[in-house]
Amino acid sequence: MIIEFEKKDFNIKHIFECGQAFRWYDDGDHFTSIHKGKVIYIREEENKIYINSPLEDFDSKIWEKYFDLKKDYGKIKNSLIDNEELNKAKEFGYGIRILKQDEFETIISFIISANNMIPRIKKSIETISSMYGDLIFEDEKRRYYSFPSPERLASADPKDLRKYARVGFRDERIVTASKMLLEPSFNINLLKNMETDILREKLIELPGVGPKVADCILLFGFGRAEVFPVDVWIKRVMEELFIGEEVPKSKIKLYANKYFGNLAGYAQQYLFYYGRENNIGKERKKENKAK
């Protein structure tokens, strides 16, 4: 079974490489992605996108939701302020979409992301899935495992997470957060219905979740598109392109809100991808250090 649609505001590479997701592979002529215990192959041809699954139980609705296909990203881009630098970023990452990822997986993934780098985060998540998830499929490239349930991760030994999944000091955080997420006050349906600021406070109760990680979870796991996560990259990019001077991390959000309003999350993705791929702000940082 297959989903097929017009290639408009959709670029597979942009979607997966803009730093929002970790369970995907660039397999040359196609990308492979794992989500909610399912595997898909996704490829672009001329002006069409094809998503197909090697598994029997293919539910196109899951993937429509995951890729946010109902949303008109052209319209979003047009609604963002007309700013020269932002326009460049929009053009550069023209096919970015914000994925709607599984809530639990997003929480654990971004706890792992703290003080960490994307290739290492990907490796840790892959190992964790192979240790505590279920084998769902195998092709000539690799074996695919589902991301473990909160129950499975709650009973994991932090020492194993450290030793095999190389998560370092995040080991206890992962297990404790998984345990807390099994408590009634963290019931997923309860969380889903919370107002964004309340939900952020709730998420920060989890060990390993601070303001930045909470914002990533809100944006990528709970679909709160008005949220603007501030990491070292986006800080540099905002300072370089919009603010013109170094400001504390806490101030960056105020600028984002002023410029992008409730579309801040989309702007963040275009700017993050554009800034990181082009090393924006990094040179200036080096210069400052040399002084």
Partner DNA sequence: TAGCAGGACGTAA
Partner DNA sequence: TTACGTCCTGCT
For binding to DNA (CB under 7 A), which residues are involved?
A: 113-117, 119-120, 123, 162, 166, 168-169, 173, 204, 206-214, 231-233, 248, 250
Closest separation in Å from C-beta 233 to DNA: 6
Compute the Cα dihedral for 84, 85, 86, 88 and give only its sign. Answer: positive
Tell me the three state secondary structure of residue 43. Answer: strand
The continuous run of DSSP H or E covering 2 comes out as strand 2-6
Residue nearer to DNA on the CB measure, 87 or 116? 116
Residue nearer to DNA on the CB measure, 83 or 130? 130
Residue nearer to DNA on the CB measure, 76 or 214? 214
Closest separation in Å from C-beta 210 to DNA: 3
Closest separation in Å from C-beta 273 to DNA: 14
Residue nearer to DNA on the CB measure, 68 or 172? 172
Residue nearer to DNA on the CB measure, 74 or 210? 210
Residues in the chain, how many? 291
Closest separation in Å from C-beta 65 to DNA: 26
Alpha-carbon distance values, 38 to 35, 60, 144, 202, 244 (Å): 5, 11, 9, 29, 45
Please name which of 200, 285, 220 lies closest in space to residue 23, comparing C-alpha atoms.
220
By DSSP bridging, strand 2-6 and strand 48-52 are antiparallel
Closest separation in Å from C-beta 199 to DNA: 15
DSSP state of 155: T
